[in-house]
Amino acid sequence: MDLGIIGQAAGLFAVTNIDDILILALFFAQGASRRGSTRQIVLGQYLGFAAILAVAVAAAFGATFLPESAIPYLGLLPLALGLKAAWQAWKDHRVGDGDEEAERARAGGPGPLEVAAVTFANGGDNIGVYVPVFATAGVGGMTVYAAVFLVLVAVWCFAGKFFATRPVIAKALARWGHVLLPLVLIAIGLLILIEGGAFGL
Give the pLDDT confidence of 30-49 residue by residue, as tens digits.
Answer: 887 788 889 999 999 999 99
pLDDT reading at 105 higher than 50: no
pLDDT reading at 2 higher than 80: no
Report which of residues 93 and 19 the model is more confident about: 19
Count of Cβ atoms closer than 10 Å to residue 105 Cβ: 11
pLDDT at 159: 93
Of 41-50, 90-99, 166-175, least confident by mean pLDDT is 90-99
pLDDT at 164: 86
DSSP secondary structure letter of residue 36: T
pLDDT at 96: 53
Continuous H helices in the chain: 3-30, 37-60, 76-95, 97-107, 112-122, 124-165, 167-196
Count of Cβ atoms closer than 10 Å to residue 113 Cβ: 13
- Residue 176, amino acid: W
Count of Cβ atoms closer than 10 Å to residue 70 Cβ: 13
pLDDT at 95: 58
Cβ(56)–Cβ(135) under 8 Å?
no
Average pLDDT over residues 161-167: 86
Average pLDDT over residues 153-170: 88
Of 29-43, 51-65, 147-161, 166-180, least confident by mean pLDDT is 166-180
Average pLDDT over residues 74-97: 74
pLDDT at 157: 95
Average pLDDT, the chain: 81
* Percentage of residues in the chain having pLDDT higher than 70: 86
pTM for this structure? 0.74
